[in-house]
């Protein structure tokens, strides 16, 4: 019995190490795919600000012109930074807030159906970008990112490092 448990532990440990090697490539894929999608979406909004402004005005949000330009810029620049892996956790936070606000203002019914009708929540437009942004916010950009490269080149000062 002990040898069976030892074998299971050994197999589990090997599987966990193998899966761990996929973490950075997976985070790179998430950043590239959804970051570029978001940047493209933001660029499209910037090219059609009048339509975006009209839509935001139809939601009765304040300052629709400013809000449209702000959201389009956040999505375009944030998506690009996310894809590059630069300022990743900050961008993950900003994009998470952006997508949560998209749920709250444009897909309120889907947001409030998260428990009663999860399919409605997960098929709403903001879901995949929100999920990707939360992944990067929580797990970081991975080893294949400009953040990681810059931290290797310019490590934290000792006093900041010790405070972590």
Tens of pLDDT along 71-86? 999 999 999 999 999 9
Smallest CA-to-CA distance from 60 within 97, 94, 106 is with 106
- Structure confidence by residue, pLDDT tens digits, 28-71: 999 999 999 999 999 999 999 999 999 999 999 999 999 999 99
Count: domains in the chain: 1
Q: Residue 156's pLDDT band (boundaries 50, 70, 90)?
A: confident
Q: Tell me if 17 is assigned to some domain.
A: no
Q: Tell me if 12 is assigned to some domain.
A: no
Q: Residue 25's pLDDT band (boundaries 50, 70, 90)?
A: very high
Q: Tell me if 144 is assigned to some domain.
A: yes
Q: Tell me if 55 is assigned to some domain.
A: yes
- Structure confidence by residue, pLDDT tens digits, 91-139: 999 999 999 999 999 999 999 999 999 999 999 999 999 999 999 999 9
In this prediction, residue 159 carries a pLDDT of 55
Q: Tell me if 6 is assigned to some domain.
A: no
Q: Residue 1's pLDDT band (boundaries 50, 70, 90)?
A: confident
Q: Tell me if 23 is assigned to some domain.
A: no
Q: Tell me if 118 is assigned to some domain.
A: yes
Q: Which domain holds residue 96?
A: 30-163
Whole-prediction pTM: 0.88
Q: Tell me if 14 is assigned to some domain.
A: no
Q: What is the 3-state secondary structure (H, E, C) of 12-68?
A: HHHHHHHHHCCHHHHHHHHHHHHHHHHHHHHHHHHHCHHHHHHHHHHCCCCCHHHHH
């Amino acid at each position: 019995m002990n040898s069976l448990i030892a074998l299971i532990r050994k197999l589990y440990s090997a599987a966990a190490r193998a899966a761990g090697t996929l973490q950075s490539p997976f985070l790179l894929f998430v950043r590239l795919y959804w970051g570029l999608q978001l940047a493209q979406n933001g660029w499209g909004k910037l090219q059609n600000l009048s339509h975006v402004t009209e839509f935001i005005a139809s939601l009765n949000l304040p300052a629709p012109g400013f809000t449209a330009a702000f959201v389009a810029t956040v999505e375009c620049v944030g998506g690009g930074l996310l894809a590059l892996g630069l300022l990743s956790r900050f961008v993950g936070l900003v994009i998470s807030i952006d997508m949560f606000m998209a749920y709250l203002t444009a897909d309120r019914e889907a947001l409030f159906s998260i428990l009663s009708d999860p399919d409605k929540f997960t098929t709403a437009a903001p879901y995949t970008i929100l999920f990707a942004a939360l992944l990067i916010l929580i797990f970081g950009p991975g080893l294949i990112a400009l953040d990681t490269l810059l931290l290797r080149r310019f490590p934290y000062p000792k006093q900041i490092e010790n405070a972590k």
